Amino acid sequence: MVADKILNFINGEFVATDKWFDNRNPISNAVIGQVAEAGKREVDAAVAAAQAALKGPWGKMPLARRVELLEALVGEINNRFDEFLEAECADTGKPQSLAAHIDIPRGAANFKVFADMVKNVPSEFFEMATPDGKSCINYGYRSPVGVIGVICPWNLPLLLMTWKVGPALACGNTVVVKPSEETPRTAALLGEVMNKVGIPKGVYNVVHGFGPNSAGEFLTTHPQVNAITFTGETRTGEIINKAAAIGSRPVSLEMGGKNAAIVFADCDFDAAIEGTLRSAFVNCGQVCLGTERVYVERPLFEKFVAAMKAGAEKLKIGVPDDPYTGMGPLISKEHQNKVLSYFAIAKEEGATIVTGGGVPAMPAELQDGCWVQPTIWTGLPETARVIKEEIFGPCCHIAPFDTEDEVLAKANDNIYGLATAIWTKDISRAHRMAQQMEVGIAWVNSWFLRDLRTPFGGAKQSGIGREGGVHSLEFYTELKNVCIKL
Contact present, 52 and 202 (Cβ < 8 Å):
yes
CB contact burial 239-270 (16+ within 10 A = b; e otherwise): bbbebbeeeebbbbbbbbbbbbbbbbbebeee
204 binds ligand 6OD (CB under 6 A): no
CA distance to 14, 77, 100, 219, 320, per residue, from 108 (Å): 22, 6, 12, 25, 21
Q: Mapping DSSP to helix (H, G, I), strand (E, B) and coil, where does residue 58 land? A: helix
240 binds ligand NAD (CB under 6 A): yes
CA distance to 136, 294, 484, per residue, from 125 (Å): 11, 47, 11
Distance CA 34, CA 259 (A): 36
- Considering only the stretches 26-34, 43-51, 71-79, 251-259, report the one whose residues sit in contact with ligand NAD under the rule CB under 6 A: 251-259
Nearer to ligand 6OD, 304 or 456 (CB): 456
Q: Mapping DSSP to helix (H, G, I), strand (E, B) and coil, where does residue 161 land? A: helix
Cβ neighbours of 331 (radius 10 Å): 26
219 membership: H or E segment, kind and range:
helix 215-220
Q: Which of 36, 117, 288, 354 binds ligand NAD (CB under 6 A)?
A: 288
Shortest CB 258 distance to ligand NAD, Å = 9
Q: Is 313 assigned a catalytic role?
A: no
- Considering only the stretches 118-126, 164-172, 234-242, 315-323, report the one whose residues sit in contact with ligand NAD under the rule CB under 6 A: 234-242
Distance CA 311, CA 328 (A): 16
Shortest CB 395 distance to ligand 6OD, Å = 16
458 binds ligand NAD (CB under 6 A): yes
Q: Which of 152, 171, 284, 288 is catalytic?
A: 288
Bridge partners of residue 460, in order along the sequence: 416
Residues 156-195 that bind ligand 6OD (CB under 6 A): 156, 160, 163
Q: Which of 360, 362, 403, 358 is nearest to 376 (CA)?
A: 358
Nearer to ligand NAD, 257 or 320 (CB): 257
Distance CA 35, CA 3 (A): 10
396 binds ligand 6OD (CB under 6 A): no
Q: Is 288 assigned a catalytic role?
A: yes
Residues 420-459 that bind ligand 6OD (CB under 6 A): 450, 456
Residue whose Cβ sits closest to ligand NAD: 211
236 binds ligand NAD (CB under 6 A): yes
152 binds, among ligand 6OD, ligand NAD, none (CB under 5 to 8 A by kind): ligand NAD
Contact present, 121 and 474 (Cβ < 8 Å):
no
Q: How many residues bind ligand 6OD (CB under 6 A)?
A: 9
Q: Phi/psi class of residue 255: alpha, beta or left (left: φ > 0; alpha: ψ in -120 to 50)?
A: beta
163 binds, among ligand NAD, ligand 6OD, none (CB under 5 to 8 A by kind): ligand 6OD
103 binds ligand NAD (CB under 6 A): no
162 binds, among ligand NAD, ligand 6OD, none (CB under 5 to 8 A by kind): none
Q: Which of 254, 292, 390, 467 is catalytic?
A: 254
Residues 96-155 that bind ligand 6OD (CB under 6 A): 155
Residues 270-309 that bind ligand 6OD (CB under 6 A): 287-289
- Considering only the stretches 128-136, 150-158, 197-205, 473-481, report the one whose residues sit in contact with ligand NAD under the rule CB under 6 A: 150-158
Complete DSSP assignment for 385-444: HHHHS---SSEEEEEEE--HHHHHHHHH-SSEE-EEEEE-S-HHHHHHHHHHS-SSEEEE
443 binds ligand NAD (CB under 6 A): no
Distance CA 330, CA 338 (A): 10
450 binds, among ligand NAD, ligand 6OD, none (CB under 5 to 8 A by kind): ligand 6OD
Residues 387-426 that bind ligand NAD (CB under 6 A): 390, 392, 418
The footprint of ligand 6OD (CB under 6 A) covers 155-156, 160, 163, 287-289, 450, 456
Give catalytic residue positions.
254, 288
